[in-house]
Amino acid sequence: MRYHTAASFEEAVAIAAAAEGVTRFLAGGTDVLVQLRSDVVTPDDLIDIKHIPGVSEIIRADDGGWTIGIAVPGAVMGEHADLCRDWPGVVEGMELIGSTQVQGRATLVGNLCNGSPAADGVPALMTAGATVSVVGPNGSRTVAVQDIPTAPGRISLSKGEMITAVHLPARAEHAGDAYLRFIPRTEMDIAVVGCAVNLRLDGDVIIEASVALGAVAPTARLVPAAAEALIGSTLDDAALSALAEAASAACSPIDDKRGTIAFRTRVAGVLARRAAGIAYDRAKGASA
């Protein structure tokens, strides 16, 4: 294995594009190094991207939009009061990953590019309308987060391409988001089901909504029908029932040691109701 430290995105892309074997980018390493140590994936070229200028920064633009560097660990996101105020659901999803030690290293983009259907950092990025900047040998592009994962462990980036930043839109007034997951214990586990809800209010009425589910399909996915169930409502019982039904209907999970198909399908609806309630309260001004 060759260990490279790239000083720029161009250099990182050039190394990755020229590499002939298995290539991995190293930011927090909480997946890459586990896979390396357990001989699941041994890269021929490992490209440390933490020395690239700007990758450790969280920046709020003049228009209120956020750019999160690809080497920003979860712990730093959680310590950023303004980011937590604008996007509490995004931050709480990221902070659910692993232990305090893992939070000191793990990154949003690493969680996204690892391609796990159960990635806790991903659903709230989708509901936030987050995009990522991608550069590669053939130039740069902007990609919606929901277009990155394609299957368990698979993403849509091609050889030599890498993500260079995560972008969150400016936070509108009277809006809030939330992420919940089900695990059979309180910490240090992988989601059996995850659900993110992001919504915006006019008075008491939901005028925009987005719902995403994790761990109930080959990738985390947006559920437009669940969002439709919320829009126009005041989160009354009828809307919550319709939301839960739409969330459960969008599930195509697997049976495994962590949960059955029937359990996951039902819990998706339960979590959607609860996450919507939290997002609604936050949109009303409750703090995370």
Partner 1 sequence: MSRIHVTTTVNGDEVEYLCEPRETLLDCLRDHVGLTGAKEGCGTGDCGACSVTLDGRLVCSCLVLGAEAEGKKVETIEGLADGDTLHPLQRKFIEHAALQCGICTPGILIAAKALLEKTPDPTETEVRYWLAGNLCRCTGYDKIIRAVMDAAAEMREAS
Residues that bind partner 1 (CB under 8 A): 1-3, 26, 29-30, 33-34, 36-38, 42, 46, 48, 50, 73, 75, 98-102, 104-105, 186-188
In angstroms, rounded to a whole number, what is the distance separating the alpha carbons of residues 129 and 118?
Answer: 19
Nearer to partner 1, 14 or 75 (CB): 75
Find where tokens 């298995």 sit. Answer: 22
- Strand ranges (DSSP E) for 114-257? 131-136, 139-144, 149-151, 154-155, 162-168, 175-182, 193-202, 205-214, 221-222
Q: What is the dihedral of CA 254, 120, 271, 192, to 10 degrees?
A: 30
Pairing of β 58-60 and β 175-182: unpaired
Nearer to partner 1, 105 or 266 (CB): 105
Q: Are 58 and 66 in contact (CB under 8 A)?
A: yes
Nearer to partner 1, 26 or 267 (CB): 26
Least distance to partner 1 from the beta carbon of 214, Å?
Answer: 21
- Residue 100: CB atoms within 10 Å: 10
In angstroms, rounded to a whole number, what is the distance separating the alpha carbons of residues 144 and 197?
Answer: 17
Least distance to partner 1 from the beta carbon of 163, Å?
Answer: 20
- Cβ neighbors of 101 (< 8 A, separation 6 or more) are none
Nearer to partner 1, 30 or 127 (CB): 30
Nearer to partner 1, 1 or 59 (CB): 1
Least distance to partner 1 from the beta carbon of 82, Å?
Answer: 19
DSSP, res 234: -
User: How many residues belong to the chain?
Assistant: 288
Nearer to partner 1, 48 or 228 (CB): 48
Q: Are 57 and 69 in contact (CB under 8 A)?
A: yes
Least distance to partner 1 from the beta carbon of 26, Å?
Answer: 8
Could you tell me the CA-to-CA distances from 85 to 15, 57, 202, 244, 282 in Å, in that order? 38, 17, 19, 27, 9
Element containing residue 195 per DSSP (H, E) = strand 193-202
Q: Are 200 and 206 in contact (CB under 8 A)?
A: yes
